[in-house]
Amino acid sequence: MGLAASRCLNARSIDHVVLERGEVANSWRRERWDSLRLLTPNWQSRLPGFQYEGTDPDGYMTMREVIAFISRFAVWSGAPVRTGTTVTCAKRTDAGYELATTTGPLRCRTLVIASGACNLPSVPSLHQAMPPSVQSFTPFSYRNPNDLPDGGVLVVGASATGVQLADEILRSGRPVTLSVGEHVRLPRTYRGHDVLWWMDVSGVWNQRSDEVDDLTRVRRLPSPQLIGTPERATLDLNTLSSAGAEIVGRLATVRNGEALFSGGLRNQFALADLKMNRLLGTFDEWARSQAREAEVGTLERFEPTRAPEPSRLKLDLRNGEFRSIVWATGFRPDYSWLDVPVIDEKGHLRHDGGVVDAPGLYALGLPFLRRRKSTFIYGAEDDARDIVDHLATYLATAVHRGAGL
Ligand SMILES: Cc1cc2nc3c(=O)[nH]c(=O)nc-3n(C[C@H](O)[C@H](O)[C@H](O)COP(=O)(O)OP(=O)(O)OC[C@H]3O[C@@H](n4cnc5c(N)ncnc54)[C@H](O)[C@@H]3O)c2cc1C
């Protein structure tokens, strides 16, 4: 997102620098597991003025390809990136912001926080109650199934990361139990097109933050159960249970070496199925009302999610059945370096569409920042343009007032 902002700043001749603690595309280089591919199709890999030009627009990039794509963009756009520079502190001054970095101090009139929404794995505090015989992993420490000890694996969380890792670990021959809480079910393809094509053409992907009823809730929605594979396969709970995964409810607590799970899987599944079908209904309505029926396949509906009968409510973590646990329980940003009072009591940045609650301070790359697609590469262009428009006006007004110069 920082590179997208840089491109928009360049277009307006606004002097700037992009600070990066590692290398360009650092999180794709350092913080992803080996087999990961984007779950967004190649044609959605685009940045301001730059897009995928390969021969497989409907494919999904490997990490190597993502790194190459972003690195090419950085060179092409001439972004003034200062790599190996960690911002350790940002403070507000009368003139703007003062940064402490590992390569020296910096001052700026405006600051765009593009440090990512997924800097740290978000692991519930009950991990501390896990018996020592069970080794804990997060999506940051897990690279491939060979990292895991032999034996059963409990994967906690069934959003994009959880289902992808459960699938891969299962294929390695280890028994997998998957703990499922609230989740978003989506088929990979619908009526002959990628589900994200439907999201795009029907306007769902572009839905703006001022068009949703409960912004706080949608900002916390888990990522959809999707995987990018050459086969364009759907990966949902039915697929995983058919492949042998045991499905249990949400992990409620760990007590005396036992993991206790919520019941109510049936309701959880019914809700996810209902929401998926509602979304597919929106797509059908779009195709009908826009007279696009000829371009898409016939109507499809999917088997409801099968609930295990009964699901285990309790697992003994000390009897040797489970040797490892993978916490696929989400990610969170790291604002430990930001010494400006703009973080609420839940640790979220206070902002309105990326305009942060402090003069000249902006953010990019957060869930539903301005649009549903905001947290994806595909959302970078529109959001960066809007934010830089606001920033340019802010600077012009500040110049006009003679403030902070
Ligand atoms: C497992 C996973 C899978 C994903 N899959 C997809 C996908 O399929 N398609 C998609 O579009 N999106 C996907 N995303 C979302 C993806 O992270 C975003 O699309 C994109 O990376 C957001 O870019 P960003 O610049 O906001 O954050 P990042 O890519 O995280 O970049 C932030 C940068 O800031 C640097 N940084 C952080 N703190 C500091 C500091 N204090 N000082 C200096 N530098 C700092 C980091 O090193 C990093 O390079 C996925 C995310 C995860 C976690």
Q: CA-CA-CA-CA torsion for 12, 16, 21, 27, nearest 10 degrees?
A: -10
Ligand 1, from 327, 376, 378: best to mutate by most atoms within 8 Å of Cβ?
376
φ, ψ of residue 88 to 5 degrees: the values are -100, -20
Q: How confident is the model at residue 402 (pLDDT cuts 50, 70, 90)?
A: very low
Q: Which residue, judged by its Cα, is nearest atom 10 of ligand 1?
A: 376
Question: Rounded CA gap, 90 and 111, in Å?
Answer: 9
pLDDT one-digit tens code per residue, 45-69: 999 999 999 999 999 999 999 999 9
Q: Rounded mean pLDDT of the chain?
A: 96
CA 225–ligand 1 middle distance (angstroms): 19
Q: Percent of the chain beyond pLDDT 90? A: 96
**Hey, what long-range contacts does 285-288 have (CB within 8 A, 24 or more apart)?**
286/198, 286/201, 286/202, 286/203, 287/191
CA 20–ligand 1 middle distance (angstroms): 12
Question: Rounded CA gap, 116 and 27, in Å?
Answer: 9
Q: How confident is the model at residue 401 (pLDDT cuts 50, 70, 90)?
A: low
Place of tokens 């606004």: 14
Q: Which residue, judged by its Cα, is nearest atom 25 of ligand 1?
A: 1
Residue 167: pLDDT over 50: yes
Contact 326, 305 (CB under 8 A): no
pLDDT one-digit tens code per residue, 15-36: 999 999 999 999 999 999 999 9
pLDDT one-digit tens code per residue, 224-275: 999 999 999 999 999 999 999 999 999 999 999 999 999 989 999 999 999 9
